[in-house]
Structures are given as C-alpha cells and as structure tokens.
Amino acid sequence: MALRDFYERLRVDESLAKDTDFNPYYLTLNSGLSEKIYVNGCEMIDLASNNYLGLADDIRVKQAAVDAIYEYGTSLCGTPIATGYIDLYQKLERELSSFVGLEETIILPSCYQANNGLFNCIAGSQDLIVVDRLAHSSLIQGIKASGSKIRPFLHNNLEHLDDILQRSRDYRQVFVVTESVFSTEGSIAPCKEIVQLCEKYQAIPIIDDSHGLGVLGKSGQGILEEQKIEGYKGIYTASLGKAISNSGGMISGAKSLINYLRYYCSHLVYSTALTPAALAGISAVLDIIHSEFPGIKKRLVSHQRRIYEALMEGGFKVVSGEAPINSIQTGSKEETFILAKKLYAKGILSTPFIEPAVPINEGRVRLIAGAGLSSDTISEAVEIIKRIGFS
C-alpha cells in the first residue's frame, strides 16, 4: 500500500459537521468549571460536564492540590511499582476502599485504563463474559482484549441474563459486567438483582460505578450503598473524574485480587502514577462529601428536576431515568447535532451522543446540571430550553 493510500484511509468523515454547520467536539474551553464557563471565547451555561457535585472549582479542592504540588512537585515521574507510590497515594487507596466498603483499591490514571487493563488479567479463552449491551466502550474494549467468549444481554434485562447464565455452565469462570448508571440515558442497573443472579450461578459480578460514585446512596458512596448490596464479593471500578472532580480511575475488591493486579495489571504497572495534585484533590472531595453530601445532593436533584420539567414543557422526548441526568431522545445523528447546535447558539453547552456511542438512529443529547450551578443560572437555562422547544 502506498503511503498516500494509508493516510487517505484514515481520513475523518466531516460531512455531518458540514451539513449541520456545527461540530460539537473538541471545542476550546477558555476557563475552568466555575459558575459560567467560556467556550470559544463565549460565556456558556455548563450542562455538559460530569461535574455532578460542583466541586471541580471548589477552593478547598484547589488548595489541597496546590499544597500537594508544593510538597511533592507536579509529578513523581515514575510508575506506582517503581518511584510513584508515595504516602499520599497509599493514603488515598485506603480512603477509597473505606468509602465504597471494599477491602482494597488500586488507582490508575483513568477509569478507561482500569477497565481496559482489568479483563486480560482475570479472564481468558476458557472464560465467558456476559455484558450489558449498552456497556461503556472502555469495558467492551477491555473485554475484547481478554480473548474470552462474550455474550451480551439485553439492557438491564434480568430475565435474559438469567437465561444466559443458566445455559453457560461449561466455562472455567463466568463474569457478568454492567454499569451502575448508564450515562447516555440516566438509567440505573438493577445491580442488587444482578449480584444475586451471580451468586446463584457462581458468576463474578463486575460493576462500573463511574456515574454513581459520589452521586448515589444517602452518603454518596455509590451503587453498593444505594441498593444496599452488602458483602459484595465482586469487582468494582469507577472514575475519579466525574463527581469526584479530579482524574484517575479505581479498581476495588478482595485483597487477593487487588494484590494480584498490583503486579500483573500492565495498565497500572507501566503507567506513570497519578499526580500528587490529583491524589490530594480526590482526598479533599471525599472529605467534603463526608460532611456536606445531603445538601449538595438536594441541590443536584432540584436542578435535575427543574431542567426535566422545562424539557417536558418544551415538548422534548426525555428518557426516563432515576439518575441526575436528563437525556433527550433525538433520533438521527443529524437531528442530534441540530439540537446541540440550537442549545449552543443560545448559550448552553450539552453533550450529543451519536453512533457508535449509541445505536444507530438512537441519538441522545445529555444535560447534567451540577450542584455547583446557582438557582439563577438554572432559571436561565430553563427559559432557554422552553424557548427552543416552542420555536
């Protein structure tokens, strides 16, 4: 193949952006996540980021990060197994384990790396992985890399999952993989019932709680607290870059599992350790959640409800979900971009999802109204949404 042909094959199809005169991806942010953000130099209402608790710009979190930089520098310039395993890192592992109620935890640079690196450590060609058909790309890519047999089950469908498990007894090990909150639509998985099915068939549950950690449960401790799943014997992963307002990913579970991953998970062993600033920032967020979560959650739920009511009044088709997410069903990718463009033009930044992030012609525009937004800003967003709906 000629070099020219190789690069031609990699060309991005930009026809959708040209047809709609709008590209919602890789926009330039000129600010942090404060009350109003600046995108391409324009003031916007942020209904796009995963800053659920509004703590990404909290002065206490920023100060903790700054203090850590002064003490440890910007980076340890090494992997955790070599020179990056500072006391701050170890302290946070213990804090996260205690927070979610599991034995031990490892911290990776992202949850994408956590989910990618997990499966080829624990599963192989003799094993079966049963996964919700709407699971996140990071889980799917990690599962594929393991070389295991794969069977998807219908989204949040316990009957279908039971049927698959009943017919899957001839494998060395069966794993069942789901997310807690499916972020494109805001649905919450029946994790307690999934765990019970796993116990029945001796399968191992794996739950990605990225959009539940810091959001679900009366104390913000995630899906295990929310659904009162006690004595969880499975594997738990989560992002530290959403409600926890920093960066990184975590894997938690039994001590023997985590100790094995410390030495054999290549995504951990060969990645530079999370920066001291991020480690300290996460710890500060956990402290705030411990002391202030009920009030923060009340604002988060109130904001979500006000946006939902505005969408309904404006005639939008909103996916029914229990999480603090409003997901608008838009249909085709063209319709998805057009709605995101209308919101953008009126000063609201949203998150559009088109294939392959969602099935073809099942586009979504997601709105997350974080607790850090003021009531006045939510009122402004409500009026914009209604005007767009009535236009």
Burial of 286 (0-12, 13-18, 19+ CB in 10 A): buried
Q: Do residues 152 and 230 both lie within one domain? A: yes
Domain end among 274, 303, 337: 274
Q: Which two tokens stand for residue 139?
A: 């889980």
Q: Do residues 188 and 326 both lie within one domain? A: no
Q: Which pLDDT does position 86 carry in this prediction?
A: 97
Q: Which pLDDT does position 112 carry in this prediction?
A: 97
Q: What is the three-state SS of the chain?
A: CCHHHHHHHCCCCCHHHHHHCCCCCCCCECCCCCCCEEECCEEEEECCCCCCCCCCCCHHHHHHHHHHHHHHCCCCCCCCCCCCCCHHHHHHHHHHHHHHCCCEEEEECEHHHHHHHHHHHHCCCCCEEEEECCCCHHHHHHHHHHCCEEEEECCCCHHHHHHHHHCCCCCCCEEEEEECEECCCCEECCHHHHHHHHHHHCCEEEEECCCCCCCCCCCCCCHHHHCCCCCCCCEEEEECCCCCCCCEEEEEECHHHHHHHHHHCHHHHCCCCCCHHHHHHHHHHHHHHHHHHHHHHHHHHHHHHHHHHHHHHCCCCECCCCCCCEEEEEECHHHHHHHHHHHHHCCEECEEECCCCCCCCCEEEEECCCCCCCHHHHHHHHHHHHHHHHC
Domain end among 223, 240, 274: 274
pLDDT in tens, 161-209: 999 999 998 999 999 999 999 999 999 999 999 999 999 999 999 999 9
Q: Write the CB contacts of 297 (distance below 8 Å, at least 6 apart in sequence).
A: 215, 220, 371
Residue 6 falls within a domain, yes or no?
Answer: no
Q: Which pLDDT does position 320 carry in this prediction?
A: 83
Domain, as residue range, for 362: 13-57+292-390
> For the stretch 6-18, what's the b/e string if a residue is b when 16 or more beta carbons lie within 10 angstroms of its beta carbon?
eeeeeeeeeeeee
Residues linked to residue 367 through DSSP beta bridges, in sequence order? 326
Residues of the chain with pLDDT under 70: 1
- Indicate which CATH number applies to the domain containing 40: 3.90.1150.10
0.75 surpassed by pTM: yes
Q: Do residues 321 and 253 both lie within one domain? A: no
- Indicate which CATH number applies to the domain containing 161: 3.40.640.10
Question: How far is residue 308's CA from residue 318's CA, in Å, rounded to a whole number?
Answer: 8
Q: Do residues 125 and 241 both lie within one domain? A: yes
Q: Do residues 325 and 237 both lie within one domain? A: no
C-alpha count within 13 angstroms, C-beta hemisphere, residue 70: 6
Q: Which pLDDT does position 1 carry in this prediction?
A: 65
Q: Which pLDDT does position 305 carry in this prediction?
A: 97
Residue 26 falls within a domain, yes or no?
Answer: yes
Q: Do residues 241 and 314 both lie within one domain? A: no
- Would you tell me how many other CB atoms lie within 10 Å of the CB of residue 151? 18
> For the stretch 86-117, what's the b/e string if a residue is b when 16 or more beta carbons lie within 10 angstroms of its beta carbon?
bebbeebbeebbebbbbebbbbbbbbbbbbbb
Residue 63 falls within a domain, yes or no?
Answer: no
Residue 3 falls within a domain, yes or no?
Answer: no
Residue 195 falls within a domain, yes or no?
Answer: yes
Dihedral pair phi/psi, residue 363, rounded to 5°: -60, 155
Q: Do residues 245 and 215 both lie within one domain? A: yes
Domain end among 215, 240, 274: 274
Q: Do residues 31 and 152 both lie within one domain? A: no
Residue 237 falls within a domain, yes or no?
Answer: yes
Residue 4 falls within a domain, yes or no?
Answer: no
Query: For the chain, how many structural domains are there in total?
Result: 2
Q: Do residues 312 and 213 both lie within one domain? A: no
Residue 386 falls within a domain, yes or no?
Answer: yes
CB 366 within 8 A of CB 326: yes
Q: Do residues 151 and 122 both lie within one domain? A: yes
CB 327 within 8 A of CB 369: no
Question: How far is residue 184's CA from residue 259's CA, in Å, rounded to a whole number?
Answer: 33
Q: Which pLDDT does position 390 carry in this prediction?
A: 75
Q: Do residues 92 and 206 both lie within one domain? A: yes
Q: Do residues 192 and 249 both lie within one domain? A: yes
Q: Which two tokens stand for residue 207?
A: 């739950």
